[in-house]
Chain A
């Protein structure tokens, strides 16, 4: 029962983030970039500016709504890249084995040895700050766990009757992988991706803090939070609301991922994301 509740809470929070992102153009009272009146800077929350205004005089509430779009983009796109890389490498390595498997394994070990934030930092330094670079950096850093799961799932699925049957029937390798193996490991991959969305949003915030995230004027939560650092004593609301937004959305992704994992495979509960 408890997992049910967690899952629902996670789903609700995630749905809220998605809704905020989609509806932002209609429900946000102000433009997140252009409605900046320096005369209104650093106003505390009131009836007009629900979450107050930032140093540039922009409505924090509107910026948080629009920020949901960026956080979702970061979460989803980076995880799609992660999953594609991880599944492709893991599945082919598990299926074909041999030198390719050794190569993929070696690569995975290397990736696991570099802390992901540091690798992302290096990639961001090369590509320069900005949303596309961030998507690439985060997409390139966290695929190793997905790859491992895909590989081990493939190894165990390969020996299953229906895969062997398909092999006997002379199906091509790629066809077997995509029709027989891939659908059967989507569960754990989906769980990894959901949990990965949370860490991607956190990494975005961390990279922004290090000056390598998405840069203004895009209202990304991470950069809002970073900007707010200087203002924490004068205008704490500028720091509190983006922080809460990150916290609640990541909490949503994490609870959703936990819930998915529990419902897919109760025995996976012990493992870490």
Chain B
């Protein structure tokens, strides 16, 4: 198990290196510059001297190769660089925002799991029932909806019309502020989870060992508890893991819509003003997050399914 975990963790390294190179290349050819973004709002006249000084100070006048070497050597020392805008270490900015993003992703996932898994389970136990039909129609609808439209509609109804929940922002970090963005963000994984849980449970229910379990004289409830749940769990854990990783990608839109101070909105804002070190750092952190979660999923998977370790 330990060796499996170690090997799995080592596989992350080359991927992260390639991703790091890729984003460096992409953002070295991006049009626009941080210096130019400073007067993009038209509130100041462009100041070419200041732009030149800034470019020089930020090291952007150096040749590409030289910047690349600096970038790589810094990365090797786990240094993500300094933000153009705030002149603070990128890692500090990410730290400031990470918790909000985690909170949002975890809340969304908890919501998706708590609603999606039982729905999928019940639907599979009663295939063709009203519950099944409604759940599956709901799930495919959930997958077909533009998330920010859903968020906008919910904001309109629950915040503006009913005034039940705050429509925006982090507030003091209370649950109230979390509900709308988390639910909006949770809809896609919820729909996927309901679908995969249903399919997974149906698969398990059709398996021979379930017939064996019935032939032992086990009650339906015990069959589900002792044999179905654990086996369906494999698929559910995989889906949860994959979704948890991609949640942070989707969170970009939701964080922007609900003015949630997470790393998704940090990324979008930084792309907009071409604060390249922050952009690179944020993407790297997101990718790392995704890979770590995938690895964790693989490990959990291996813990649940004894067949994996053999491979």
List residues of A whose CB falls within 8 A of some B CB: 2, 6, 106, 109-110, 113-118, 121-123, 125-126, 128, 198, 202, 205-206, 209-211, 222, 225, 229, 232-233, 236, 239, 243, 246-248, 250-251, 253-255, 258, 269-270, 272
Is there an interface contact between A126 and B283, defined as CB atoms closer than 8 Å? no
Please list the residues of chain B having a beta carbon within 8 angstroms of any beta carbon in chain A: 14-16, 18-19, 22-23, 26-27, 29-31, 128, 133, 140-141, 143-149, 152-153, 156, 160, 192, 195-196, 199-200, 203, 235, 239, 242, 245-246, 248-250, 252-253, 256-257, 267-268, 271-272, 279, 283, 286-287, 290-291, 294
Query: Which residues of chain A are within 8 angstroms of B286 by Cβ–Cβ distance?
Result: 114-115, 118
In the bound assembly, the distance between CA atoms of A269 and B256 in angstroms comes to 34
Identify the interface centre among B143, B267, B268: most chain A CB within 10 Å of its CB.
Answer: B143
Check A254–B252 contact: CB distance below 8 A. Answer: no
Kindly list chain A residues whose C-beta atoms are within 8 Å of the C-beta of B268. Answer: 121, 210
One of B140, B196, B199 near A255 (C-beta < 8 A): B140
Please give, as numbers and ranges, the residues of chain B lying within 8 Å of A253 by CB-CB distance.
Answer: 144
Give the top 8 A-B pairs by smallest Cβ distance, nearest first: A115-B249, A251-B144, A250-B144, A270-B199, A243-B149, A205-B146, A110-B18, A117-B249
A126-B140 contact, Cβ under 8 Å, with A113-B19, A209-B148, A243-B146: no
Query: What are the residues of chain B within 8 A of A248 when measuring CB–CB?
Result: 144
Chain B nearest Cβ from A16, distance in angstroms: 14
Asked if A209 meets B22 with Cβ closer than 8 Å, knowing A109-B15, A118-B267, A243-B146, the reply is: no
Interface CB pairs A-B, < 8 A, 19: A106-B15, A113-B290, A114-B290, A115-B245, A115-B246, A116-B246, A125-B30, A128-B31, A206-B148, A206-B253, A209-B148, A210-B253, A225-B148, A233-B160, A246-B145, A251-B144, A269-B199, A270-B203, A270-B235
Known interface pairs A110-B18, A126-B29; A118-B146 also in contact (CB < 8 Å):
no
Is B239 touching A272 in the complex (CB atoms < 8 A)? yes
Q: Is the interface of A mostly helix, strand, loop or mixed?
A: helix
> Apart from A113-B291, A122-B279, what 13 extra A-B contacts exist at CB < 8 Å?
A114-B19, A114-B22, A116-B249, A121-B271, A122-B283, A126-B30, A209-B256, A225-B146, A233-B156, A243-B146, A247-B144, A248-B144, A251-B140
Q: Is there contact, CB below 8 Å, between A122 and B256?
A: no
Instruction: Assess the B250–A239 pair: CB atoms within 8 A.
Output: no
Q: Are B26 and A202 in touch, CB under 8 angstroms?
A: no
Across the interface, name the chain A residue whose C-beta is closest to B26: A122
Please give the distance in Å from A269's CB to the nearest CB on chain B.
5
Chain A residues near B235 (CB-CB < 8 A): 270
The distance in angstroms between the C-alpha atoms of A258 and B239, with both chains bound, is 18
B250 to chain A: closest residue by CB: A117
Chain B binding site: helix, strand, loop or mixed by DSSP? helix
Cβ contact within 8 Å between A115 and B152: no
Question: How many Å lie between the Cα of A133 and that of B18 in the bound state?
Answer: 23
Partner of B253, one of A122, A209, A236: A209
Residue in chain B with minimal CB distance to A207: B253
Residues of B within 8 Å of A250, CB to CB, are 143-146
Closest to A121 in B: B271
Given known pairs A118-B249, A258-B140, the reply for A110 and B15 (CB within 8 Å) is yes
A50: min CB distance to chain B, Å = 20
Least CB distance, B173 to chain A, in whole angstroms: 25
CA distance A165 to B14 in the complex (A): 39
Assembly CA distance A128 to B30 (angstroms): 9
Please tell me which one of the listed residues A6, A232, A270 contacts residue B156 in the complex, with CB atoms under 8 A apart: A232
CB <8 Å contact, A206 and B29: no
A222 touches B146 (CB 8 A): yes
- Given contacts A115-B246, A236-B156, A258-B140, whether A122 and B252 have CB atoms under 8 Å apart is no
Output the nearest chain A residue to B264 by Cβ-Cβ distance: A118
Q: How far is the CA of A251 from the CA of B136 in the complex (A)?
A: 12
* Given A121-B271, A206-B253; A106-B18 close (CB under 8 Å): yes
In the bound complex, residues from chain A placing their C-beta under 8 Å from that of B199 are 269-270
Q: Which residue of B lies closest to A206 (CB)?
A: B253
B146 touches A246 (CB 8 A): yes
Report the minimum CB–CB distance from B12 to chain A (whole Å): 9
- Residues on A with C-beta less than 8 A from B22 are 110, 114
- Contact, CB under 8 Å: A210 / B256: yes
Contact assessment for B287 and A114 in the assembled complex, using a CB-CB cutoff below 8 Å: yes
Contact B144 A254 (CB under 8 A): yes
Q: Is the CB of B15 within 8 A of A246?
A: no
With A110-B19, A110-B22, A251-B140: A118-B152 Cβ-Cβ less than 8 Å: no
Residues from chain B with a CB closer than 8 A to the CB of A246 are 145-146, 149
Q: How far is the CA of A202 from the CA of B253 in the complex (A)?
A: 12
Question: A198: which B residues are within 8 A, CB to CB?
Answer: 143-144
State in angstroms the CA–CA spacing of A128 and B22 once bound together: 18
Report chain B residues within 8 Å CB of A255.
140
A126–B26 touching, CB < 8 Å: yes
B283 x A254 contact (CB < 8 A): no
Docked Cα-Cα span, A146 to B16, in Å, equals: 22
Using CB atoms, name the residue of chain A closest to B150: A243
Would you give the shortest CB distance from A2 to chain B, in whole angstroms? 8
Given the complex of chains A and B, what is the CA–CA distance between A110 and B14 in angstroms? 9
List, in ascending order, chain A residues with CB within 8 A of B279's CB. 122
